[in-house]
Amino acid sequence: MKKLKDMVWVLALCFLVFGCDELEELIEEEFDVQTTFITELEINVPNASSPDKAVDFKSNLGFWDFTKDPNVAEVLGDSDEITKIEINSVRYFYKNVVGNDDANVVGEMVFSVGQDGVFYSTAQTNLAQADFNNTLFTLEGDFSPVNNAITQFRSIGFFYEGSVSDNPVSFITDVSITVTVTIKPDIDNF
């Protein structure tokens, strides 16, 4: 909020120096805010009838509201000022792996887009090794369908689903999503 107050003072000074038309042009320029949020998705895979039989799982839901993101909220007057949200990167790693050391996971990160989901495959991975080595993975793919939806709804929901062999095992998938939020201030909000 302090930044917003400082910006108002600077704009008032610009008004005195440049006049009304130039000030309006300055205020209505779009600018980008980059922000990163981290969510933990917990997975618990029970013992199967056979330890090497793959068992399906689905994590808890991760959710983020961009209008409440601290980096965005401090410069946002109204949620309608958000003109675009684009995913720059999605990174994830496995941690707190407990259970069978031979457990391998394969799955998909699923982003909610309206009533549908957009699926992004994750690499087949030995959970214990990935946890021990602190292996960082990057999700690959075309994020434009997700970008369109998060721009429209100004929030994102996602979960991780797949299967694990050599169970039981429980683990956390730590997901870090970096986005760019484009904001066009509305002069009526000043």
Residues of the domain holding 160: 29-189
Residue 15 lies in a domain: no
pLDDT digits 0-9 by tens, 81-134: 999 999 999 999 999 999 999 999 999 999 997 778 999 999 999 999 999 999
Confidence at residue 143, expressed as pLDDT on a 0 to 100 scale: 97
| Res 12 pLDDT > 90 | no
CATH number of the domain enclosing 67: 2.60.120
CA 185 to chain centre: 23
Q: Would you state the pLDDT for residue 95?
A: 98
Cβ(170)–Cβ(61) under 8 Å?
no
Residue 24 maps to a domain? no
Q: Higher confidence at residue 10 or residue 88?
A: 88
* pLDDT tier, 188 (very low <50, low <70, confident <90, very high otherwise): low
Contact call for residues 159 and 57 (beta carbons, < 8 A): no
- Domain presence at residue 17: no
- Identify whether 78 is part of a domain: yes
Residue pair 98/188 in contact by the 8 Å Cβ criterion? no
Number of domains in the chain: 1
How large is the angle between the packed helices 20-27 and 2-18, nearest 10 degrees?
Answer: 150
Q: Is the peptide bond before 168 cis (omega within 30 degrees of 0)?
A: yes
pLDDT for the residue numbered 2: 54
Q: Is the pTM of this model over 0.85?
A: no
Q: Tell me, what's the pLDDT at 56?
A: 95
Within a domain: residue 139?
A: yes
Domain contains 4? no
Is residue 51 a contact partner of residue 164, using CB atoms and an 8 Å limit?
no
The gap from C-alpha 56 to its chain's centroid, in whole angstroms, comes to 24
Instruction: Give 53's pLDDT tier (boundaries 50, 70, 90).
Output: confident
In a domain, 18, yes or no: no
Residue 75 to residue 94: CA distance in whole angstroms: 34
Beta strands in 13-81 (DSSP E): 31-45, 55-58, 62-65
Residue 20 lies in a domain: no
